[in-house]
């Protein structure tokens, strides 16, 4: 499964749970999830889920924890 497709499916399935009942905080949580998934798509574009290693995840976390 390509990472782009996985992120899209995850947002479709789990995104509505973050939207809540229209509260400002719940919309914010949904947008944060959407943005994080967009980062994954951009970073790992063209890779399949089973090609992503622990080192890839570590590098991603290091990049975004420093850049935040």
* pTM for this entry: 0.73
Give per-residue pLDDT as tens, 14-48. 887 776 655 566 567 888 889 999 999 999 999 99
pLDDT number for residue 17? 76
Residue 44, C-beta contacts closer than 8 angstroms, at least 6 positions apart:
3, 52, 56
In whole angstroms, give the CA distance from residue 38 to residue 2.
Answer: 14
Contact assessment for residue 64 and residue 43, using Cβ atoms and an 8 Å cutoff:
no
| Distance from the Cα of residue 32 to its chain's centroid | 9
* Cβ atoms 41, 4 nearer than 8 A: yes
pLDDT at 20: 62
């Amino acid at each position: 499964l390509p990472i782009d497709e996985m992120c899209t499916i995850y947002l479709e399935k789990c995104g509505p749970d973050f939207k809540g009942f229209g509260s400002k905080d719940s919309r914010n949580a949904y947008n944060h999830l959407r943005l994080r998934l967009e980062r994954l798509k951009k970073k790992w574009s063209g890779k399949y889920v089973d090609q992503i290693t622990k080192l890839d995840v570590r590098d991603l976390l290091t990049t975004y924890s420093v850049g935040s």
